[in-house]
């Protein structure tokens, strides 16, 4: 299996980059206080940092809003995952505890203010791709059963013709949802080489260390940009 980003993506977003962590052999069935504490610490940090700042105008969030505009997506209507989560936390609304893998991803995402996804790859056979949609690609929204059929030209994460996330990093679907039975996980961290590449790398490396220490699992890491558009996972 590979993680691949199409050349067309870099033609549209020249400096986009992706940190990657792949973890295999996780046990996601136990509540782990260490992860709860990490998430609470990140939540407190965001609340404090944005006490006198506007989330959407911040240096951390504005690059994603600009990229959405480049993609023809209204960032006011469709907020990136990191903007949506940060906005909620900055308003002191907190975050629910979902499960250890998701909570750990959210803790690292908030600490470095970068979007960080988590996808179950335990039964995946096809490559994971970041590409523009083709007419007929199918998306099942998170928590729903009915399919949405996409048209051409929407930036997505996909596996085969099944869409994992719509509008790049706006909304994740049912395909690859993290559950208590998840064992193998693909974590992408999306950013920009000339803006927050250092944060992407820091988030990737800290996530890898925490996963290894907490779950005693096998870890692989990688980095994708226009000069290296695919990797084995």
Per-residue pLDDT tens over the stretch 182-199: 999 999 999 999 999 999
Q: Residue 30: what pLDDT? A: 87
How much is the pLDDT for 179?
A: 97
Superfamily of domain 2-232: Phenylalanyl-trna Synthetase, Chain B, domain 3 (3.50.40.10)
**Other CB atoms within 10 Å distance of the CB of residue 221:** 16
Backbone angles phi, psi at 170, to 5 degrees: -90, -60
Task: Kindly report the pTM of this predicted structure.
Answer: 0.97
Q: What is the predicted pLDDT for the residue at 52?
A: 92
Residue 188's closest CA among 2, 21, 6, 14?
21
Mean pLDDT of the chain: 97
Q: What is the pLDDT of residue 161?
A: 85
Q: How far apart are CA 225 and CA 200, in angstroms?
A: 12
CB 229 within 8 A of CB 39: no
Residue 225 vs residues 9, 20, 42: alpha-carbon distances, Å: 10, 11, 28
Higher pLDDT, 30 or 80: 80
Q: What average pLDDT does the segment 172-178 reach? A: 95
Alpha carbons within 13 angstroms on the beta-carbon side of residue 23 total: 31
- The confidence band for 216, taking pLDDT boundaries of 50, 70 and 90, is very high
**What pLDDT, on the 0 to 100 scale, is given for residue 218?**
98
């Amino acid at each position: 299996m590979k993680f691949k980003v199409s050349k067309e993506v870099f033609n549209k977003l020249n400096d986009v980059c992706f940190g990657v962590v792949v973890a295999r052999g996780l046990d996601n069935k136990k509540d782990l206080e260490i992860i709860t504490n990490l998430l609470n610490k990140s939540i407190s940090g965001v609340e404090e940092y944005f006490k006198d700042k506007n989330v959407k105008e911040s240096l951390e969030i504005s690059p994603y809003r600009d990229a959405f505009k480049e993609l023809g997506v209204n960032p006011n209507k469709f907020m990136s995952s990191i903007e949506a989560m940060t906005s909620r936390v900055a308003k002191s609304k907190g975050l629910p505890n979902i499960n250890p893998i998701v909570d750990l991803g959210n803790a690292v995402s908030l600490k470095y203010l970068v979007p960080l996804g988590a996808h179950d790859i335990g039964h995946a056979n096809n490559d994971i791709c970041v590409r523009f949609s083709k007419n007929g690609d199918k998306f099942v929204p998170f928590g729903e059963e009915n399919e949405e059929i996409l048209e051409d030209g929407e930036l997505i994460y996909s596996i085969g013709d099944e869409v994992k996330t719509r509008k790049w990093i706006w909304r994740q679907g049912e395909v690859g949802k993290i559950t208590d039975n998840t064992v193998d996980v693909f974590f992408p961290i999306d950013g920009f080489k000339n803006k927050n590449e250092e944060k992407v790398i820091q988030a990737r490396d800290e996530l890898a260390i925490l996963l290894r220490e907490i779950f005693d699992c096998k870890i692989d890491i990688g980095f994708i940009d226009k000069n290296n558009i695919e990797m084995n996972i």
